[in-house]
């Protein structure tokens, strides 16, 4: 899954998502994209198209970076 697919699919569905749930749905969407092969570089390239998607991608990338940092501290 590449960055254009990430953005295109999100754009198709975002207008039909209840605004009070959009943050949770966006975060779950990013997780599903990652499960289907989108990597950090694809997510970074998808930034700048939608604030809700950007927030979810940034959250996902921070979670990855934080868990990596925690592992290093255990050494």
Average per-residue pLDDT in the chain? 87
Q: Check pLDDT > 60 for residue 62.
A: yes
pTM over 0.75: yes
Which of residues 36 and 65 earns the better pLDDT score? 36
pLDDT band, very low/low/confident/very high, at 68 (cuts 50, 70, 90)? very low
Rg of the chain over Cα atoms, rounded to whole angstroms, equals 13
| Distance set, CA 29 to CA 52, 63, 67, 70 (Å) | 11, 15, 20, 25
DSSP state of 17: S
């Amino acid at each position: 899954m590449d960055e254009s697919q990430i953005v295109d699919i999100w754009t198709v569905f975002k207008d039909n998502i209840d605004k009070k749930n959009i943050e949770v749905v966006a975060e779950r969407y990013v997780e599903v994209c990652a499960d289907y092969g989108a990597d950090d570089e694809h997510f970074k390239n998808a930034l700048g198209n939608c604030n809700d998607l950007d927030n979810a991608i940034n959250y996902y990338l921070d979670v990855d970076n934080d868990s990596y940092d925690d592992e290093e501290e255990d050494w």
